[in-house]
Amino acid sequence: MVKTNVGVIFGGVSTEHEVSRSSAVHVLKSLDKNRFSFTLFEISKAGELYVYDYSGHDIESICSKLQDINNDLPKKKEVFSTELVSKYSLDVIFPVIHGTGGEDGVLQGLLELFDIPYVGTGVAGSAVAFDKVFTKEILTVRGIRQAAYVVLTSDELRYDITEKIRNAENRLEYPIFVKPANGGSSVGIFKAKNRDELIKSVFKAAKYDRKIILEESIKGRELECAVIGGYTGARALGVGEIIPCNEFYDYAAKYIDEKSKVVVPAQIPPETSSKIMSEAVLAFEALDSHGLARIDFFLGEDGEIYLNEINTMPGFTQISMYPKLWRHAGGSDIDLMSELIDLAIERKSSYKFLKDYTKND
């Protein structure tokens, strides 16, 4: 059987570079080697592209080396070009890059230009899901409950913002979460307990993005739902709970302190779980997601469900929430990778549209 060659791209310029390496290792270990061969591409923290030569190494050795950013596997610098696709006989790309430059539509745009199928959400869906303001605006129209918010821009910060801060205070109670609209890993996110902290936080958050979102704090539990599927017929796999070891799930609670807990399945009533799963699928469809997404919610002390965000390339390591929920739903790691790759190939063959308007008769 001719194997499908999967170009696995990992690393990237975001704070989640190391997580991406672990996610890629999980993908490689779980690829069905009877169906797929693979070519390994790394994007360095500086944004350079490398292709690995792993000949002579078995999968265990490749994976243990890849985890290490300074590994000694031979790699060659490459340039992003359409020729790459034929040069390495790539059939499909699995971009396992989280955050900026990987999950925000930028890499997806490049892959569209290469005209090759790729795993995960397309350009617009990725960009919109990555932008917390656009996500709010689109999902509000669809009737999905989210925390109340106010938007500021770095342009507005050049002038007196007293009026803007008062306006935010009229609409939101302290503590107020301050976040860059485009970001991840909780970088640049602050929980402001009073006006002084709010103003400082807004200026700090503005170092990461032009748009800053101020959001009411939801007291309650953090729940995450995994969704898989194409543009139609997507299904939710289940709901897990995050129990952060800090006051909120900040960068340290996510990656440094190992005391945060991931509970699968979340210990919540079945009707709450069903409601979250159907809202997750609704949001997945509303944002044109494809392949996979992890959709995060708060279960407020008021009993209401609030959607927090959509991650179109969620943490994908062996111990990440998404694969955990997949396994809990009864699937094997091998089946997960195969289904995601099949979905990517199927999207490319199912959605072909006329490019030449003169031929439409």
Nearer Cβ to ligand ATP (39/289): 289
Contact call for residue 260 and ligand ATP (CB under 6 A): no
Give every strand in the sheet of 36-43, ordered side by side.
75-78, 49-52, 36-43, 4-11, 92-96
User: Which residue's C-beta sits nearest to ligand ATP?
Assistant: 249
Q: Scan for tokens 């929430």, then name that residue.
A: 321
- Restricting to residues 143-162, which ones interact with ligand ATP according to CB under 6 A? 147
Task: Scan residues 174-193 and list those touching ligand ATP (CB under 6 A).
Answer: 177, 179, 183-186, 189
Residue 99 class from Cβ within 10 Å (0-12 exposed, 13-18 middle, 19+ buried)? buried
Footprint (CB under 6 A) of ligand ATP, residues 13-72 = none
Q: How far, in Å, CA of 22 to CA of 318, rounded?
A: 8
Strand partners, 76: 51
Task: Give the binding-site size for ligand ATP (rule: CB under 6 A).
Answer: 19
Report residue 205 as tokens: 């958050």
Q: Which of residues 263-302 bind ligand ATP (CB under 6 A)?
A: 296
What DSSP element (H or E) covers 95? strand 92-96
Question: Cβ of residue 249: shortest distance to ligand ATP, in angstroms?
Answer: 3
**Amino acid identity at 161:** I
The one segment of 23-31, 69-77, 244-252, 280-288 that binds ligand ATP by CB under 6 A:
244-252
Out of 135, 260, 308, 312, the only residue in the binding site for ligand ATP (CB under 6 A) is 308
Among residues 71 and 272, whose Cβ is nearest to ligand ATP? 272
Dist CA 54 CA 271 (whole Å): 49
Site for ligand ATP in 194-223 (CB under 6 A): 215, 217-218, 222
Could you give the count of Cα atoms lying within 13 Å of 336 in the half-sphere of its Cβ? 26
**Which residues here bind ligand ATP, judged by CB under 6 A?**
147, 177, 179, 183-186, 189, 215, 217-218, 222, 244, 248-249, 296, 308-309, 311
